Amino acid sequence: MIKILQVYPVMNNAGTEMVIMNLFQNVDSNRVHFDFLVQDDGERDNEIIQASSTIYKIPFNNKKQYYRDLIDFFHNHPEYVGVHTHTHGQMGIVLKAAKKCDIKLRIAHSHNARQDLPKIAKLYKYLTSYDIENNATDLFACSEEAAKWLFPRKHNQYRFLPNGINIEKFIFNKDHRIEIRNEFGIEDDDFVVGHIGRLAKQKNHEFLIDIANNLKSHKNIKFLCVGEGPLFEELSNKINELGLQGKVILVGSRSDAYKFYSAFDVFLLPSLHEGLGIVAIEAQTAGLNTIVSDGVPKAADCKLNLFKTLSIKNEDLKIWCQEILNCQLSDSSISRNSYYDQIKESDYNIKFSAKKIESFYLSKIEE
């Protein structure tokens, strides 16, 4: 058995953490053991510990201290043959320290693709990517866009690792639909527009609320937004100011977020940018029409005829509204469970992704 250290700032319930946890839960633990290095306590910590893995914590205060702490950590833990870092902000520091301590396998993994940065920030990112590219032994990304963003000079060397999901978990479930709708007082004939994502600028929740405001006259259309984040209060205030209480519900963080896909009737992802957008994969698995922004890579399309890309320019707001209304009127005779056979054989089945990364770890260590 080999030991791999997964590095991420905090293990909560957001997208990247879900990708890491899906791999953690599906690799063969008799062959590959994951431990975790974080900067703060997270919502998934107990789950990780209960699975007999260890979580180490090194707070990030400044670059020099963090680097010194990493050097001390790696010297004191020679059992790790590989470091797999997903933490974009401090990735170069982690990889540099790991190289200094002669860790053989050093993976940089890109999960995002920022398209909204000003030119000066893009230049800074370009320059700081040197440490990542020069100290990693291998580059992974969930899409070509994500690779180009984090590895601008070496993106043609990246390995594609699909953001795999537990397919069975997201299949449409009538009991889940009833449970969630009852919890939030949603009627059987209500049409629910769903979204799952961190309440942060990237996810563009203000655009979602503007859509809801434009559809205010359609009383049976409700919006459920699952997730927490720094914009919770600001978004709540906007909902109140527009008189959308009861129409737009901010659910907060949920450990059972997978149940909400069954309660939704259409899924929206109007993000400013995404590395992939794993929630779009989950939504399609649940048989949902999935409407995304042009900041979401085409790789998120599972080819189930459920995926549609739209612009998020202000003048295109009404196009989103019309698409929602079209979905409300569309043929509902197709079983939402019918997509399972197609997607279970796709790259996004976690069984394939986990086997791929497991085989990669072992092959690199054996070299």
pLDDT digits (tens, 9 = 90+) for 178-225: 999 999 999 999 999 999 999 999 899 999 999 999 999 999 999 999
Letter string b/e over residues 269-295, b meaning 16 or more CB atoms within 10 A of that residue's CB: bbbbbbbbbbbbbbbbbbbbbbbbbbb
Q: Does 332 or 2 have the greater pLDDT score?
A: 2
Q: Do residue 182 and residue 291 come from a single domain? A: yes
What range defines the domain where residue 326 resides?
Answer: 167-343
- The confidence score (pLDDT) of residue 345 equals 83
Q: How far is CA 80 from CA 68, 103, 286, in A?
A: 18, 7, 38
Q: Do residue 136 and residue 271 come from a single domain? A: no
Coil, strand, or helix at residue 196?
Answer: strand
Q: Do residue 65 and residue 140 come from a single domain? A: yes
- The confidence score (pLDDT) of residue 36 equals 98
Question: Can you tell me the distance from the alpha carbon of 276 to that of 231, in angstroms, rounded to the nearest whole number?
Answer: 22
pLDDT in tens, 290-328: 999 999 988 889 989 999 999 999 889 999 999 999 999
Q: Do residue 183 and residue 300 come from a single domain? A: yes
DSSP code string of 289-315: EEEEETTS-GGG--SSS-EEEE--SGG
Closest CA to 248 of 218, 291, 280: 218
DSSP code string of 199-264: SSGGG-HHHHHHHHHHTTT-TTEEEEEEB--TTHHHHHHHHHHTT-BTTEEEEE--TTGGGHHHH-
**What's the token pair of residue 342?**
């197609």
| Beta-carbon contacts of residue 80 (< 8 Å; ≥ 6 apart) | 3, 4, 5, 35, 74, 103
Point out the least confidently predicted range of 39-43, 95-99, 118-122, 300-304. 118-122
Question: Which residues lie across from 35 on neighbouring strands?
Answer: 5
Q: Check if the beta carbon of residue 182 is closer than 8 Å to that of residue 150.
A: no
Q: Do residue 62 and residue 121 come from a single domain? A: yes
- pLDDT surpassing 80 at residue 333: no
For the chain, the average pLDDT equals 91
DSSP code string of 154-174: TGGG-EE----B-GGGGS--H
- The confidence score (pLDDT) of residue 331 equals 62
Domain count, the chain: 2
Residue 58's CATH number: 3.40.50.2000
**What's the token pair of residue 141?**
């990304």
In sign, the C-alpha dihedral spanning 340, 346, 348, 351 is positive
Question: Can you tell me the distance from the alpha carbon of 87 to that of 109, in angstroms, rounded to the nearest whole number?
Answer: 8
Ramachandran angles phi, psi of 236, nearest 5°: -60, -40
Coil, strand, or helix at residue 34?
Answer: strand
**What's the token pair of residue 160?**
């594609």
Q: Do residue 112 and residue 195 come from a single domain? A: no
Q: Do residue 95 and residue 74 come from a single domain? A: yes
Q: Do residue 124 and residue 192 come from a single domain? A: no
Question: Can you tell me the distance from the alpha carbon of 5 to that of 74, in angstroms, rounded to the nearest whole number?
Answer: 10
pLDDT in tens, 22-72: 999 999 999 999 999 999 999 999 999 999 999 999 999 999 999 999 999
Q: Do residue 105 and residue 179 come from a single domain? A: no
Helix-helix angle 205-214:232-241, to 10 degrees: 10
Binned at pLDDT 50, 70 and 90, residue 277 comes out as: confident
Q: Do residue 33 and residue 154 come from a single domain? A: yes
Q: In what order do the strands lie in the sheet with 80-85?
A: 55-57, 32-38, 2-7, 80-85, 105-110, 138-141, 159-160
Q: Do residue 187 and residue 279 come from a single domain? A: yes
- Give burial (CB, 10 Å; 0-12/13-18/19+) of 151: buried
- The confidence score (pLDDT) of residue 127 equals 66
Q: Do residue 133 and residue 187 come from a single domain? A: no
- The confidence score (pLDDT) of residue 338 equals 82
Ramachandran angles phi, psi of 33, nearest 5°: -110, 130
Question: What's the pTM?
Answer: 0.78
pLDDT in tens, 141-190: 988 988 998 998 898 999 999 888 888 999 999 999 999 999 999 999 99
